[in-house]
Amino acid sequence: GAVVSQHPSWVICKSGTSVKIECRSLDFQATTMFWYRQFPKQSLMLMATSNEGSKATYEQGVEKDKFLINHASLTLSTLTVTSAHPEDSSFYICSARRAGLSTDTQYFGPGTRLTVL
């Protein structure tokens, strides 16, 4: 298989607090992980590419100081939404690409529903 987990599956927080979301590849190593955001009835929007041991690459328009990404190991990447506001409420999904393979196939986690009050 190629199982990717996310924790938590949902979170509700007050405006101004920070929220950390974990993404783990359970049965494979991932040198590259990706973080997406998805609004209702829309497609996935890539936020950033996370490479193990190096800084994340953010897509245009994504604030790197607001969405902190850390990829400390080959099986774990974290996304921290700092000083969250209601407009940050969304479905956040991570994906992982197998290390050692040249294919572009990404395996997705189950997503994290963030609600900021």
Closer by beta carbon to other proteins, 85 or else 113: 113
Q: How far is the CB of 108 from other proteins (least distance, A)?
A: 4
Closest CA to 67 of 35, 98, 90, 38: 35
- Give the nearest distance from C-beta 98 to other proteins in angstroms: 10
CB of 110 to other proteins, least distance (A): 5
CA distance 60 to 90: 18
Decide: helix, strand or coil at residue 7.
Answer: strand
Task: List the interface residues with other proteins, window 39-98 (CB under 8 A).
Answer: 42-44, 46, 49, 57, 91, 93, 95, 97
Eight-state DSSP code of residue 98: E
Smaller CB separation from other proteins, 32 or 75: 32
Q: Identify which of residues 49 and 82 has a Cβ nearer to other proteins in the complex.
A: 49
CA atoms within 13 A on the CB side of 103: 6
Helices (H) and strands (E) in the chain, counts: 0, 11
* Cβ proximity of 35 and 48 under 8 Å: yes
Residues near other proteins (CB under 8 A) are: 2, 4, 6, 32, 34, 42-44, 46, 49, 57, 91, 93, 95, 97, 103-111, 113
